Amino acid sequence: MSSNPVLNDDQWSKLLEYVAETYNEVTLSRGFHFYKQQMVTSLNITTELRKVNAVVEEFGEKCQVALDLNQLKASSCTCPVKTSCKHVAATLMELADRQGYPASQIMNAKMALKRVAAQSSNASNLEQLPGMTVDGWHKFMEHYTFHLKPSYDQWNYVELLRGQFVNLKRKPVAFSETDLFYFEFHQRLFILRKIVEQNAQAGVTFFTAATVYHLSDELDEWLKETAKTLNFGQHEQRLTQTSAYLRAQMAIESPKKLHHFRVFSTFWAYHVAAEESRIASELTAFEEMEAADLSFSLCAGRAYLYLRQGNSHQAWDTLISHATFKEAPTLLFVPFLDYMKHAQDWQEMVHWLRRLSSFYQGKRHLEVDVYVSYWKLVVAELPEAEADMWQSLGELLPTTYRIIEDLYYEKRQWKPWIEMQIAQGYDPFTHRVHVLQPIEKESPELLLPYYHQAVEHYIRLKNRHDYKSAVRLLKRLEKVYKKMKQPERWEAFFTRFVSRFSRLRALQEELKKGKLLE
């Protein structure tokens, strides 16, 4: 928020009223686009007079905007519209952002005003929040945001919900540090649930799926970061209520969209002490729910707790017992593998990675890279597991072709690496010089077939440009033979080479230019 505010809550409400009365949705939408694209390139505020001057750039043209916050109707712009235009709207949004108010509320001013009205009706409940249960919080949030309607642009809906919750921070609520963490946690869970529900009702497209995964990623990172900074004792009541809420969401979760399972596993990994009695109590709660609901997300949650309890085999058996296990997304396995990494149970991780390899067949490179990163970690700690790693990667061919190639290079296994280059039809010019330098230094003899084959290829093309490439490679070959301290082999080869291609005058000329021939 600005250190010199020119807006307070009352003035903000009046600004929203002005926008709602004056602007149409198209102008506000365009203004919001200008604001998000940072096209308001300068903004100067005269605090005493409550006046604002700004520059908005559009396709290289600069529009000068002047706002009078005491008389908003007197605001003007140098564009042809002159007032109440998209440039003024963008300036109002930029000003709001700098003053600590949600710019998205200006774009949705009418809805924001309804929200303000709803806030007044909710004001009496604010004082009761610290004494409410988690279920009470969610009922409060449902009522507090009822006037915000989902739209096709799900991220806009997320921003509206967040803007609504920002207003809660302006009101003093007597939360303890622990309750403050849990209340913010449940605000994030509330938004995640709203988007998941919207996807279930309207169907999932690329854009809607991207929003929910982005929210899930954000929540995952937030839980990890807050664990580093918070220092409070475990609040048993809030923990019990939060776990119950997560189980309820997991019970209705799609077996391929395990967002709440991911939240549950991260929450337990970073914010819950691994006490045997607590885990046993949670397992009992899971088993009671699963008797009535065989959700795969609940099954995964129970398996995760078995793993934290030290029962790796039972965790695996629990997962594979579910009918939809073979359709599980690879994201499911990350919490299990992360826990084994934390526990440094490398041998067990080898068993899991071997059994999970089939899930990564044909998957995106990002997913396969995550799988391989665990193998690299295991092999660094347990070198004898390298054979298992190569077997798993071999089973995933051709998906892992690039990864195997990179691993050969990382491990300086030059012979299979070069064989892969030859098999793919690559030649030495495919790589930058520095890529082949360590091979020239450590195992120059391995480069001989690579260089010889490439020289023959360029000669067969029979044009001057490719002859030049062949000569460059021949000079590299000469260097390799010298590295091997076998100049006589080079002389014997080169003599035969010149004799074979003596009729190719252009090649002979290039050899002379390259100073390979007198």
Q: Phi-psi region for residue 148, left (φ > 0), alpha (ψ -120 to 50) or beta?
A: beta
Which residues on neighbouring strands pair with residue 55, listed in sequence order? 42, 64
Distance separating alpha carbons of residues 158 and 208, to the nearest angstrom = 11
Q: 7: exposed, middle or buried (C-beta count within 10 Å: 0-12, 13-18, 19+)?
A: buried
Q: State which amino acid sits at residue 263.
A: V
Structure tokens of 263? 């939240």
- Could you tell me which of 253, 234, 233, 275 has the C-alpha nearest to residue 189? 253
The total of other beta-carbon atoms located within 10 Å of residue 304's CB is 23
Distance CA 84, CA 91 (A): 11
Report d(CA 140, CA 393) in Å as an integer.
51
- pLDDT per position in the chain (518 positions), as tens? 455 678 888 888 888 889 988 898 899 999 999 999 999 999 998 888 889 999 999 888 899 999 999 888 889 999 998 888 999 999 999 999 888 888 888 888 887 777 666 555 555 577 788 888 999 999 999 888 887 888 778 888 899 899 888 888 777 778 888 888 999 999 999 999 999 888 777 655 555 668 888 999 999 999 999 988 776 556 788 999 999 999 999 988 888 889 999 999 999 999 887 788 888 889 988 888 765 557 899 999 999 999 999 999 999 999 999 988 988 999 999 999 999 999 999 999 999 999 999 999 888 888 899 999 999 999 999 999 999 999 999 999 888 898 999 999 999 999 999 999 988 889 899 998 899 999 999 999 999 999 999 999 999 998 999 999 999 999 999 999 999 999 999 999 999 999 999 999 999 999 999 898 87
CA 466 to mean position of chain CA atoms: 44
> Is 62:74 a contact under the CB 8 Å cutoff?
no
* pTM for the model: 0.68
Q: Hunting for tokens 């059994």 — which residue is that? A: 355
User: Contact 106/19 with Cβ under 8 angstroms?
Assistant: yes
Give the long-range contacts of residues 213-220, CB within 8 A, separation 24 or more.
213/259, 214/155, 215/158, 215/188, 215/191, 215/259, 216/192, 216/259, 216/262, 216/263, 218/188, 219/188, 219/189, 219/192, 219/263, 219/266, 220/262, 220/263, 220/266
399: tokens are 């998906």
Domain borders along the chain are 9-107, 119-233, 412-513
Q: How far apart are CA 103 and CA 96, in angstroms?
A: 6
